[in-house]
Structure 1
Amino acid sequence: MIDELLRTLGAHGVRATPLRGRSASHRRLLLHRDEPAPDAERMVGGWPSEQRELALDWLRAQAPVRRWATLTRLAGNARMGRVFRLIEDLLAAGWAELEVRREPRRGWEPWELRWRDRQKLETLLGRPDPDVLQDRMTALRRWQFADPRLPALADSLADRPQQHALRRLELLHALDRWLREGRQGTRRQFAQFARGDTKAVGESEWQWLDETLGLSTLGIDAHTPGLWLRAPLRLHLPGGSIDLALLPDVVALTPATVAQVDRIDASIGCWRVVENRTSFEQAARAHGARDGVLWLPGFAPTWWREAVATLLRHATAPLLVACDPDPAGVRIALAIASLWQSAGLPWEPWRMGPEDLRALPRHKPLGDYDRAELERLRGLALPSTLAALVDAMAEAGIKGEQEGLRFD
């Protein structure tokens, strides 16, 4: 195959320059053009799609030299028929050089491929220019997020590959617009909003958003949401009243139901907002007969904040907020506390001190997002309890979940 390739390439201006071998019986040649072909760029435009895909696979690693064994492995059996056609086109256009070797009693064999202008070739094949990507990254990092959850998540992308980081950073800015406009919808509706295609958000991206922020807290859900609570309240609506004090357990109210409330009869000691669902149910059983106990589904979505603001207008009481003792939990607690601060009401963290973190039976190590969020939280004026928790997490390099604490 190489002997035939050597004969063919001579007609395209490709020279075979001898290289020093290990001995007289070991021969090496470098197949190359002295200058790129005048129509090198046009030639790439005529490559079939399968050949373009194979070239991009070979270019994926940043190494300037690729061993032949690596190239054939990347091609696989299904694409081996295209390998020599691609090699011929790369050499004929001057995009690469190929070293071939001849051992005693054997024919010429490919050894390694050396790229000449890989960045330009990548651009011609449809991979964005790194300088263009960097300019786009710089511009996106200058734009401020309206939602306080997103800056630290954007910071956690700093060490990721450029294209990966850019794609996710663009997704975060689309998410910021979605949240700012108070939108609700399914995964497909968000994907259409963010990227103009209902299937354009990949499964790994959905998992990333769900694990770090929680999709339901972003207004991305397939079902009607519900405000879960237990409280001694009588809600008055245009069509009648709902006496929650009669219920022995937790109940969910839809946002549309809460929006109809025009008056509440209540006498509660405080509002207790709890993030973890198991901890919420424990707190509701212990305190729900005299206090208002609300389940907080992570970062509060717009509908949840609006529903709670309605309750708070009619049933004012201080806040005790309990979130996971982790960086996201501190940020969530601050966001919820802002509702009470806007109403001129006091608030305190509940079971969110450094001693609560240390008392947990299990801990998790801090991730990239956690460390980025801790740095941002340290720049805020935090209540003493939360400031101490932030310091404890940073010093120990750990975080936890409130499910390991008692709320009765």
Structure 2
Amino acid sequence: MSSPDEDFWGEADADGMRVRWLSDPARSSLRGRRLRRHMPATAADSGAWPDGWRTIARIWLKDARTEHTIRRDTLLRRAGAEHTNDALRLIRHLVEIGQLGVEERRAAHGWTAVGWHFVDPTGLRRTLGMEEPGASHRAWQALRAQPLDDDDLRDAAANLDEQPPRTAIARFGLLQALQRWRQAGRARSVATRRDFAYFARGDTKAISHAEWAWLDALIDVAADGIGAHQAILLMAGRMSLLGADGRIDCAALSGIVGIAADSLATLRAIENPPERWLVVENRSAFDHLARRLPRGSAALWLPGYPPLWWREVVGRLLVQAPAEAWIACDPDPDGILIAIQAGTVWREHGLAWQAWQMAPEQLAGLPHHRPLSARDKALAEQLLTTELPPALRALLDWIRDHNQKGEQEALFLPSPHVPTGPGT
């Protein structure tokens, strides 16, 4: 049974072409017009086409509509003069498989082609992996309606209204990622652009220079803990780090040592390794600890939520100097989650870790407390659903029961001490 469309078409000629008249076929006139095409159409195997054909087809199909006539000169001009031969071969191929119909007019010397039309441009676009005309604009409008919490993010989004839809979609995604970054408390960390790119798109190099320039012009990303410069690992101890081209004697420097994260990629060994790694989040607390470091221990500054660079560098240290960790973070919901994430680095290397200076009685004994924010409360409820070490579960219960949190700096004054057991 023929389709309704086929009912308008005549029988196939010797070349397999069928005719649909646009004028009265009974009248012999130089104004005669007709459409010719192979029917039924055969699906295009664009994967087998030469690269040049696929390039030309994408240009033609970008805004092609069903049975909308396109002049021959227009098709060739869009393909480019240097691709004329490929364009003519592609036209012939598309006609042969019924994906391109030809409009003809009667001339003094017979019928002549005046234009072509795509029979199924949607299907061709699908085989070429193209989106439909206007799809990006519609997707951008839908995305633009999604809310952003902060004024600077909303202002940056307004700037995108003047951008091409695909650019706007990609950059709005960065604003959404920055919003998630803030909601997750990552502004409390010291991260690199590679860290944010990994957070936003799952690839440390996925944000282009142009996108960073756009973000820098509109957003103070440094205020969100995202640095443009080389990450520096702060540490203290009596060990010596041996690399491919030299050594760093931390003991000789007596105090805090800052080492570019990338320089530790060539770490080969650690002499006089520590028996214990003391990991401290609060920078002032770390400074106090580094000046009075207990014998047999080394200290690492934890820059808030452990960024990718920190996890990688500390992992290299643990390969050469495996030892347990005592981790001290601010006694608040974020601090609990930060400690867990930092402890994961030790667990992944088969090493033990424990919370340090994070006992409920230590929080209770602080001279100053602050009430929990709405975000603190939400994070505390989220932590309740996870498996926590007993010491951190006890701290979380105290925080929720008293609706209070604190900062760890006071716990390291006037002098730090090494506890005799976990949770103290």
Normalising by structure 2, what TM-score?
A: 0.51
Alpha carbons of structure 1 residues 134 and 202: separation in structure 2 relative to 1, 3 Å: closer
Distance in 2 (alpha carbons) for counterparts of 1:375 and 1:243: 45
In structure 2, the residue matched to 1:178 is 198
Alignment of 1:218-233 (within 5 A): 220-233=226-239
Residue 244 of structure 2: which of 235, 238, 255 is its match? Answer: 238
1:251-307 CA-partner distances (Å, limit 9, x unpaired): 101112211111112342200000111111222222254211011111111111111
Alpha carbons of structure 1 residues 135 and 375: separation in structure 2 relative to 1, 3 Å: farther
Alignment of 1:280-299 (within 5 A): 280-287=286-293, 289-299=295-305
In structure 2, the residue matched to 1:399 is 405
Distance in 2 (alpha carbons) for counterparts of 1:253 and 1:353: 32
Which secondary structure state, in structure 2, belongs to the residue aligned with residue 229 of structure 1? strand
- The structural deviation recorded for 1:169 is 4.4
- The structural deviation recorded for 1:247 is 2.4
**Structure 2: runs of 5 or more not aligned:** 1-137, 158-171, 182-194, 418-424
Alpha carbons of structure 1 residues 233 and 350: separation in structure 2 relative to 1, 3 Å: same
The answer (yes or no) to whether the contact 2:237–2:255 under 8 Å persists in 1 is: no
Alpha carbons of structure 1 residues 290 and 246: separation in structure 2 relative to 1, 3 Å: farther
The answer (yes or no) to whether the contact 1:320–1:350 under 8 Å persists in 2 is: yes
Which secondary structure state, in structure 1, belongs to the residue aligned with residue 303 of structure 2? coil
In structure 1, the residue matched to 2:211 is 192
Alignment of 1:93-242 (within 5 A): 169=176, 171-172=178-179, 178-179=198-199, 180-182=202-204, 192=211, 197-198=214-215, 201-202=218-219, 210=224, 215=225, 220-242=226-248
Alpha carbons of structure 1 residues 199 and 362: separation in structure 2 relative to 1, 3 Å: same
In structure 2, the residue matched to 1:264 is 270
Residue 363 of structure 1: which of 369, 373, 390 is its match? Answer: 369
Letter in 2 for 1:182: T
Which secondary structure state, in structure 2, belongs to the residue aligned with residue 405 of structure 1? helix
The answer (yes or no) to whether the contact 1:192–1:198 under 8 Å persists in 2 is: yes
In structure 2, the residue matched to 1:250 is 256
Name segments (4+ residues, structure 1) moved above 6 Å: none
Letter in 2 for 1:245: A
Distance in 2 (alpha carbons) for counterparts of 1:184 and 1:258: 24
**Structure 1: runs of 5 or more not aligned:** 1-127, 138-153
Which secondary structure state, in structure 2, belongs to the residue aligned with residue 320 of structure 1? strand
Distance in 1 (alpha carbons) for counterparts of 2:335 and 2:180: 22
Which secondary structure state, in structure 2, belongs to the residue aligned with residue 293 of structure 1? strand
Distance in 1 (alpha carbons) for counterparts of 2:252 and 2:177: 49
Distance in 1 (alpha carbons) for counterparts of 2:381 and 2:404: 14
Structure 1 vs Structure 2 CA RMSD: 3.4
Letter in 2 for 1:171: L
Distance in 1 (alpha carbons) for counterparts of 2:392 and 2:382: 13
Distance in 2 (alpha carbons) for counterparts of 1:353 and 1:363: 15
Alignment of 1:302-341 (within 5 A): 302-341=308-347
The answer (yes or no) to whether the contact 1:231–1:288 under 8 Å persists in 2 is: no
Matched, 1:345 2:351: yes
Which secondary structure state, in structure 1, belongs to the residue aligned with residue 296 of structure 2? coil
Distance in 2 (alpha carbons) for counterparts of 1:389 and 1:200: 42
Letter in 1 for 2:253: L
In structure 2, the residue matched to 1:382 is 388
% identity of equivalent residues: 34
Alpha carbons of structure 1 residues 384 and 238: separation in structure 2 relative to 1, 3 Å: same
Rg comparison, structure with higher value: 2
Distance in 2 (alpha carbons) for counterparts of 1:302 and 1:176: 9
Which secondary structure state, in structure 1, belongs to the residue aligned with residue 292 of structure 2? helix
- The structural deviation recorded for 1:184 is 10
Normalising by structure 1, what TM-score?
A: 0.52
In structure 2, the residue matched to 1:12 is none
1:65-101 CA-partner distances (Å, limit 9, x unpaired): xxxxxxxxxxxxxxxxxxxxxxxxxxxxxxxxxxxxx
Which secondary structure state, in structure 1, belongs to the residue aligned with residue 227 of structure 2? coil
1:180-231 CA-partner distances (Å, limit 9, x unpaired): 323599xx96x925xx83357545x875xx3xxxx1xxxx213322111112
- The structural deviation recorded for 1:178 is 3.5
